[in-house]
Copies of this chain bind each other. A is one copy, B any other.
Amino acid sequence: MDQELKKRIRSDRGESLIVSAEEAAYMIKDGMAVAISGFTNSGYPKAVPHALAEQVKAGREEVHIELYSGASVGPEIDTELVETGIIQRRIPYQTNATLRKAINSGKVNYSDMHLGRSAEFVAQGHVKKPDIALVEALAITEDGDLVPTTSVGNVPTYVQMADSVIVEIAMAKPLELEGTADVYMTEPAPNRKPIPITHPGDRVGAPYVKCGWDKIKAIVISDMSDLTRPLAAISEDSRKIGENIINFFRHEVEAGRLGKSLLPIQSGVGSVANAVLWGLKESEFEGLTCYTEVIQDSMLDLIKCGKVTVASCTALAPSPEAQVDFFNNIDFFRDHVIFRPEEISNSGEVAHRLGLIAMNTALEVDIYGNVNSTHVQGKKIMNGIGGSGDFSRSAQLVIFTTSSIAKDGAISSIVPMCPHVDHTEHEVQVIVTEQGYADLRGLSPKERAVAIIENCAHPDYRDMLMDYFKRACEEAPCQTPHILDEALSWHSRFEKTGSMK
């Protein structure tokens, strides 16, 4: 091995294991459950999946596998392995257009899971034991342990569960990333101990994933880079939603329920999340911390400008430009960013202990505060619940955001009834749209309906919603008034006419 490679593979035991991506891909056989690294197009294996897809295209016998990841991964997997029919079953999350289509058409069986529980779900044997773990690593230590790159995800559990591990060494990522990961693993119940994190910045584990040379069956040297996604521009709606959230924070400070440093922030990904974080940059709040699943450009910016002192996550999901900046300034960021296993980044135990402010995106919200995060029209899967449920059930403040309308106004995101519910009235506290926010805490369902319609619904739909609510109230008295024959009529009308109006 040359000097550069010796820094990445720190034992002579590694040399004989180095194979081509093609050779490694042949180790993946029909019927296997393959567990991979990767979280939001970050730190996922690329060379071997691509080689596997090419092999099948070139006439290798059929290969059908079950694929377990950390969350969404790049197109080398969720496009290429889907187009070739290789992935038959998939957990726990995805965001890929090709895979989404295959799931909705029934070609791929997809179980949409709470991400924070997905590692233990595999470890507890609720699904097939992984035959192979295929993981990206920055380096392999002298003892055969794996240094993660820009995500930790479910790698610690997957490596522990699998008898065979294939490692892709990510030459495109700087060795200086080493030390950003903090790998703490929980024991199986009933012998689990408290997770010893009491501050977002606590380091409680090792900077590598325990593996050992005996498990490593192949090492692939890869020059491929994560295909991270460019950042969507912040829309006017997103900017207003961000403003409304900041105003809500101010209201909470005035009421004495929050201080100037707020509480540790959990924020979903995407345009709204970015807008909120940009809003915080301009605000009076400071000394902020972050305990979340994924950090994006805006969070890196908040760290750089000193507003955020530390951000804990399981993955970095930057734009291509922000990734370059992160790598260039890794010596600075290493003191402020921690990558954890997703069962720790998304731990309900820790989320509750820290008292997070959880901010996640809804597809739609009904007038009583139930949230649909996953199913368009209650039927077609969009992405999945991701970590939103891990946080919504354990955080101190639970905020869901959505634009009040979609498809140029043909869809109201505030509806009489959600045809699919991912977050229930029992945990949803605050709904924010570009129109304003509805604070639902302590309200009865009928009080909530008025708050949501008046503060969050788009003016084009406000009267229609109030009309539905009033007529529902005039039926037999009940806690949560509905007209059953009409509750889903808005969605049905959209199917038939292309508009909810």
Measured CB to CB, the residues of A under 8 A from B are 89, 91, 103-106, 109-114, 120-121, 124-128, 188-196, 198-199, 255-257, 263-264, 348-349, 352-355, 370, 375, 377-381, 385, 389, 393-394, 396, 417, 419-427, 429, 441-444, 446-447, 476-482, 484-485, 487-488, 491-492, 495
Could you say which residues of chain B place their CB within 8 Å of the CB of A192?
A: 198, 352-355
Residue pair B353, A194 in contact (C-beta under 8 Å): yes
User: In the docked arrangement, what's the CA distance between A80 and B389, Å?
Assistant: 39
Residue pair A492, B482 in contact (C-beta under 8 Å): no
User: In the docked arrangement, what's the CA distance between A32 and B447, Å?
Assistant: 20
Known: A189-B354, A477-B105. A348 touches B394 (CB 8 A): yes
Could you say which residues of chain B place their CB within 8 Å of the CB of A479?
A: 103-104, 110, 112, 375, 379-381
User: In the docked arrangement, what's the CA distance between A109 and B127, Å?
Assistant: 44
Could you say which residues of chain B place their CB within 8 Å of the CB of A393?
A: 114, 348, 389, 393
Could you say which residues of chain B place their CB within 8 Å of the CB of A348?
A: 348-349, 352, 393-394
Instruction: Label chain A's interface by main secondary structure.
Output: loop
Residue pair A379, B478 in contact (C-beta under 8 Å): yes
Among B91, B128, B421, B478, the residue within 8 A (CB) of A381 is B478
Residue pair B255, A125 in contact (C-beta under 8 Å): yes
Known: A188-B355, A194-B198. A444 touches B110 (CB 8 A): yes
Known: A348-B348, A393-B348, A426-B389. A442 touches B104 (CB 8 A): no
Residue pair A422, B424 in contact (C-beta under 8 Å): yes
Chain B CB within 10 Å, residue with most, of A106, A190, A196, A255: A190
Residue pair B194, A195 in contact (C-beta under 8 Å): yes
Could you say which residues of chain B place their CB within 8 Å of the CB of A419?
A: 417, 482, 484, 487
Closest to A117 in B: B427
Closest to A92 in B: B426
Q: Known pairs A381-B478, A419-B487; list 12 more (Cβ under 8 Å).
A: A89-B442, A104-B478, A190-B354, A191-B198, A192-B354, A193-B353, A194-B194, A379-B481, A379-B482, A385-B426, A421-B421, A487-B488
Q: Give the Cβ gap from A22 to chain B, nearest Cβ, in Å.
A: 31
Residue pair A111, B484 in contact (C-beta under 8 Å): no
Residue pair B190, A480 in contact (C-beta under 8 Å): no
Known: A478-B380, A479-B375. A189 touches B417 (CB 8 A): no
Q: Give the Cβ gap from A192 to chain B, nearest Cβ, in Å.
A: 4
Closest to A343 in B: B352
